[in-house]
Amino acid sequence: MSTPDTSHLESVPASAWSADDSAALYGITDWGNNFFSVSDAGEVTVRLRDGKKRSEVPIASIIDGLRDRGTDFPVLLRFRDLLHDRISELNQSFRTAIADSNYQGDYRGVYPIKVNQQRQVIEEITAFGKRFHYGLEAGSKPELIAALAHMHDEEAYLICNGYKDEEFIDLALTARKMGLQVIIVLEMPSELNLVIERAEKLGIRPLLGVRARLATKSEGKWQESAGDKSVFGLSASQIIETVDQLKESGYIDCLTLLHYHQGSQIPNIRAIREAATEATRMYIDLVKEGAPMGILDTGGGLAVDYDGSHTDFPASCNYTISEYCADLVEVIGQTCTAENIEHPTIISESGRAVVAYYSVLVFNILDVTKFQLDDTPPTPPATMSPTLKNLIDVAENISTDSLQENFNDATYYRDQIREMHVHGRVSLRERGYAEHLFWNIVTKITRRLSELEFVPEELAELRSQTHDYYYGNFSLFQSLPDSWAIDQLFPIMPIHRLAEKPTQQAVLADITCDCDGKIDRFVDRRDVAHTLPLHPIQPDDTGYCIGVFLVGAYQETLGDLHNLLGDTNVVGVHLENGKPVYSHEVEGDTVADVLSYVEYEPKVLVEKFRSFAENAVNSGKITPRERKEVMKSYRHGLDGYTYFESDI
pLDDT digits (tens, 9 = 90+) for 235-251: 999 999 999 999 999 99
- State the Cα–Cα distance between residues 80 and 188, nearest whole angstrom: 37
pTM of the predicted protein model: 0.90
Average pLDDT over residues 271-275: 96
The SS3 of residue 356 is helix
Residue at 42 is within a domain: yes
513 labelled catalytic: yes
Residue at 31 is within a domain: yes
Q: What percent of the chain has pLDDT over 70?
A: 95
The SS3 of residue 215 is coil
Q: Of the listed 325, 513, 515, 545, which one is catalytic? A: 513
In 10 A of CB 375, how many CB atoms?
11
Q: Are residues 286 and 226 in the same domain?
A: yes
Output the pLDDT for position 645.
Answer: 86
- Tell me which of 229 and 342 has the higher pLDDT: 342
Residue 555: is its pLDDT beyond 80?
yes
Number of domains in the chain: 4
Contact status, residue 639 vs residue 591, Cβ threshold 8 Å: yes
Domain stops at, among 433, 464, 495:
464
Q: Are residues 253 and 141 in the same domain?
A: yes
For residue 202, give the nearest of 222, 223, 173 by alpha carbon.
173
Q: What percent of the chain has pLDDT over 90?
A: 81
Output the pLDDT for position 218.
Answer: 63
Contact status, residue 137 vs residue 96, Cβ threshold 8 Å: no
Tens of pLDDT, residue by residue over 315-340, are 999 999 999 999 999 999 999 999 99
Residue at 644 is within a domain: no
Distances (CA, A) of 461 to 7, 10, 488, 529, 633: 15, 16, 22, 11, 47
Contact status, residue 556 vs residue 360, Cβ threshold 8 Å: no
- Tell me which of 534 and 459 has the higher pLDDT: 534
Tens of pLDDT, residue by residue over 597-628, are 999 999 999 999 999 999 999 999 999 999 99
Which pLDDT band, with edges at 50, 70 and 90, does 3 fall under?
very low
Point out the least confidently predicted range of 114-118, 174-178, 247-251, 375-379.
375-379
CATH assignment of the domain containing 417: 1.20.58.930
Residue 348: is its pLDDT beyond 80?
yes
Residue at 11 is within a domain: no
Q: Exposed, middle or buried, 476 (CB in 10 Å: 0-12/13-18/19+)?
A: buried
Q: Are residues 177 and 317 in the same domain?
A: yes
Output the pLDDT for position 312.
Answer: 93
Q: Are residues 336 and 416 in the same domain?
A: no
Residue at 376 is within a domain: no
Question: Which amino acid is it at 216?
Answer: T
Q: Are residues 481 and 459 in the same domain?
A: no
Residue 460: is its pLDDT beyond 90?
no
Contact status, residue 580 vs residue 573, Cβ threshold 8 Å: yes
Point out the least confidently predicted range of 418-427, 541-550, 559-568, 615-624.
559-568
- State the Cα–Cα distance between residues 357 and 39, nearest whole angstrom: 19
Q: Are residues 446 and 480 in the same domain?
A: no
Average pLDDT over residues 136-146: 95
Q: Are residues 140 and 289 in the same domain?
A: yes
For residue 287, give the nearest of 332, 350, 220 by alpha carbon.
332
Point out the least confidently predicted range of 8-17, 476-485, 569-578.
8-17
Residue 69: is its pLDDT beyond 70?
yes
For residue 516, give the nearest of 490, 491, 483 by alpha carbon.
483
In 10 A of CB 30, how many CB atoms?
20
- State the Cα–Cα distance between residues 417 and 428, nearest whole angstrom: 10
Average pLDDT over residues 408-416: 95
Give how far the C-alpha of residue 393 lies from the chain's centroid of Cα atoms, to the nearest Å.
49
- What do you get for the CA distance between the two ends of the chain, in Å? 41
- State the Cα–Cα distance between residues 541 and 563, nearest whole angstrom: 25
Residue 225: is its pLDDT beyond 80?
no
Domain stops at, among 550, 566, 588:
588
Structural domain of 548 = 16-79+358-371+467-588
Q: Are residues 493 and 616 in the same domain?
A: no
Q: Are residues 459 and 471 in the same domain?
A: no
Which pLDDT band, with edges at 50, 70 and 90, does 377 fall under?
low
Point out the least confidently predicted range of 110-119, 188-197, 220-229, 428-437.
220-229
Output the pLDDT for position 1.
Answer: 46
Instruction: Report, in angstroms and rounded to the nearest whole number, the Rg of the chain calculated over CA atoms.
Output: 30
Mention every residue, 6+ apart, whose C-beta is less than 8 A from residue 524: 3, 27, 307
Output the pLDDT for position 216.
Answer: 85
Output the pLDDT for position 5.
Answer: 55
**83 sits in which H/E element:** helix 80-100
CATH assignment of the domain containing 532: 2.40.37.10
Residue at 305 is within a domain: yes
Output the pLDDT for position 632.
Answer: 95
Q: Are residues 267 and 319 in the same domain?
A: yes
Output the pLDDT for position 368.
Answer: 92
Mention every residue, 6+ apart, whose C-beta is less than 8 A from residue 326: 93, 97, 100, 101
Output the pLDDT for position 453.
Answer: 85
Distances (CA, A) of 434 to 331, 392, 415, 611: 66, 8, 9, 53
What is the residue-averaged pLDDT of the chain? 92
CATH assignment of the domain containing 115: 3.20.20.10
Residue 7: is its pLDDT beyond 90?
no
For residue 358, give the nearest of 556, 146, 497 by alpha carbon.
556
Which pLDDT band, with edges at 50, 70 and 90, does 451 fall under?
confident
User: Phi, psi at residue 537, to the nearest 5°?
Assistant: -130, 155
- State the Cα–Cα distance between residues 118 and 78, nearest whole angstrom: 11
